[in-house]
Structure 1
Amino acid sequence: MSMSWRKRIGWLAVLLFLIWSPLAVPSYARAFSVDVAATGTAASERAEKLQRLETAAERLYNNMQQGNAQGALLEMESLIDALEGLSFKGLTSVEGIHALAETIMDARETLSRVEVSQEEWIGTSARLRLAVNSLNHQEGALWLQYYKVMADNLQSMEKARVAGDASELKDVFQTFKEHYEVIRSAAIITRDPSEINKFESWLSYVERLSNDKTLDLGAIDQGIDLGKSLLKELFGRRADEPVFLPITGYGSPWYWSTLIGGWIVLTLFYTGFRKYRGDQIVSSVGRREDDSNHYRL
């Protein structure tokens, strides 16, 4: 009798579970879907604000490059509006936020001046555009395109050192430093602060060497070699990576090499086949002419 009751209780528990589970599971699913939807909405809103911010920065850049003060002021307001309520969590560090704020303040200050300096307008708008682009693009940001330019500057410094031309070395270093100032905010937004500190410490060291009345050739050699390594590190390049790279973006280079080679072989085969058919047509026409002449004779 006790076994019968235990069986009944067991079956009742199973029945209650089967009745309850279809009701309970959707409730958990609904709660989970609400959380996912809320997270997705927040991410979508932030992506939209970032896009608005980048669009405003690009338009501001174009207006300031062209000296259009009225258009630049309007786009600056649009840029400020896009920043309202924007969360920087996961996008950059505290140093990155500070660097972005500096570029915006510099651009606003430049626009508010009575005397217009085209050089300042070009420089501040470029720094701001690169900074905002770096914030919105963790990979493939525009500032990374400056690697080749700055690598060439280092090479020119090396040539000036070999020639013993102190004046040229100083001038090229100043150009290198100016290029870094253009990308500095963008680099701070993207890179770890320790990398920025290391690179800027090297800059200060080489600047001191280049300003010395008597060049310390050995120290300059070591400084330039270290600069090449630090530049690659700053731009995310491998230590053994050359300046000029092959086309990237293909996961299997052997596959593409085989495919291209196949197309070449196919083209050569088709050309040979066309030539063979052309020879056959010419030969057959010649034979018909011979036969007709034979019958006439």
Structure 2
Amino acid sequence: MKVRFIVPFVICIVMTIGSAGAVWGDSAALSPYISILSTSPYKQLTRLDETANALYEAANTDNRQAGFLHVQQLERMIKGELKGKSGKMEGWAAIEQDARAIEQTIRSSETSSGWLKEAARIRLATDALVRPEHALWLQYESIMLDDLSRVEKAWKRQTGDGAIAARATMNSLQEHAERIEPAISMIYGSMHGAELNERIRYTNQLLETKKSSPLNEVMINHSLKALNTAIVKMFDHSGRAEVMPAVAPLATSNPLSWTFFLGAIISAVLTYSGWRKYKNNPFGVKPLP
């Protein structure tokens, strides 16, 4: 009977149309982002991130030859068209400045500690550009809050040298703030971390005051609380700026389109099987032996 292949054939047509519609629908929805979701910028950013990681490893091992090679590669990438496609110009300027500092340090035959800091800053900045939602610099929130906790404990010492001990402990917090500065500038711009830097500067100024007074102690306590607020505010995810999606591959799987596609294949097989049976036995009656 014709129903053996007509019904699967109709289902196959419907499934094929549905599958094509689902695919075209996705393409239409993504059409505004085709220019920024191209593979070329993503590959360039990936190479930049890999070069920054290699530069950091060279700094850790004091491999000057590899470091010089990687920093030159990095400088060529920075001077290209990549920085006009993603990230903030302040971040690119910070990377470029650190790269020049590394090259000058390597040329002057100084120790590895002279360019490890800059290499770490570059690595964090490129990582923030490639993985904005899971960047390494975000882990510094707990580190910096721990730094501040040690500062507060040092300040509350009963030995009479609390201000001196707190000021010495502030160096760690300041160092960590400087390390993530290019990463913040790359994602948000330089003004995002301005409040924290100002709070660190002001707190250091209060702690360095040689003349101790009850008013100065109150101001220091207030400044430490404000510093805690500034750290939390800087890492506040709710205020995160939008980042160009070209730095991450787009997930393109669509369960509906796959359902239609598999349904069309199954219906096609059933249609072909029914048609062959109909051709061999069009009236559904077996021939007599």
- Structure 2: how far apart are the matches of 1:229 and 1:151? 10
Whether 2:164 is the aligned partner of 1:167: answer: yes
Q: 2:140 aligns with which of 125, 146, 151?
A: 146
Aligned residue in 2 for 1:292: none
Query: For 1:166, what is the secondary structure of its paired residue?
Result: helix
Check 1:73–1:179 CA distance in 2 against 1; reply closer, same or farther (3 A cut): same
Whether 2:118 is the aligned partner of 1:124: answer: yes
Deviation per CA, 1:160-194, whole angstroms, max 9, x where unpaired? Answer: 22225122111011221112111111122123433
Query: For 1:169, what is the secondary structure of its paired residue?
Result: helix
Could you tell me the TM-score, scaled by structure 1's length?
Answer: 0.63
Check 1:111–1:36 CA distance in 2 against 1; reply closer, same or farther (3 A cut): farther
Check 1:236–1:66 CA distance in 2 against 1; reply closer, same or farther (3 A cut): same
Runs of 4+ deviating beyond 6 Å? none
- Structure 2: how far apart are the matches of 1:236 and 1:37? 29
Aligned residue in 1 for 2:231: 231
Matches within 5 A, 1:132-281: 132-163=126-157, 164=160, 165-215=162-212, 216-236=216-236
- Structure 2: how far apart are the matches of 1:57 and 1:190? 17
- Structure 2: how far apart are the matches of 1:237 and 1:160? 30
Could you tell me the TM-score, scaled by structure 2's length?
Answer: 0.64
Give 1:81 deviation, angstroms.
3.5
> Residues 49 and 86 of structure 1 are in contact (CA less than 8 Å); yes or no, is this contact kept in structure 2?
no
Deviation per CA, 1:119-174, whole angstroms, max 9, x where unpaired? Answer: 22321211111122122222111111112221111111111222251221110112
> Residues 50 and 82 of structure 1 are in contact (CA less than 8 Å); yes or no, is this contact kept in structure 2?
no
Aligned residue in 1 for 2:98: 103
> Residues 100 and 189 of structure 1 are in contact (CA less than 8 Å); yes or no, is this contact kept in structure 2?
no
Matches within 5 A, 1:17-56: 39-40=34-35, 43-56=38-51
> Residues 88 and 186 of structure 2 are in contact (CA less than 8 Å); yes or no, is this contact kept in structure 1?
yes
- Structure 2: how far apart are the matches of 1:38 and 1:178? 39
Give 1:38 deviation, angstroms.
10
**2:116 partner amino acid:** I
Which structure is richer in relative contact order (CA contacts within 8 A, separation 6 or more)?
2
Deviation per CA, 1:15-53, whole angstroms, max 9, x where unpaired? Answer: xxxxxxxxxxxxxx9xx99x9599458731111000000
Deviation per CA, 1:216-256, whole angstroms, max 9, x where unpaired? Answer: 21111111111111101112268xxxxxxxxxxxxxxxxxx
- Structure 2: how far apart are the matches of 1:192 and 1:38? 23
Which structure 2 residue ranges, 5 or more long, are not aligned? 1-23, 239-289
Give 1:106 deviation, angstroms.
1.9
> Residues 63 and 72 of structure 1 are in contact (CA less than 8 Å); yes or no, is this contact kept in structure 2?
yes
Which structure 1 residue ranges, 5 or more long, are not aligned? 1-28, 239-297
Aligned residue in 2 for 1:68: 63
**1:72 partner amino acid:** G
> Residues 87 and 186 of structure 2 are in contact (CA less than 8 Å); yes or no, is this contact kept in structure 1?
yes
- Structure 2: how far apart are the matches of 1:37 and 1:73? 41
> Residues 78 and 96 of structure 2 are in contact (CA less than 8 Å); yes or no, is this contact kept in structure 1?
no
- Structure 1: how far apart are the matches of 2:65 and 2:237? 41
Aligned residue pair count: 207
Q: 1:113 aligns with which of 100, 108, 112?
A: 108
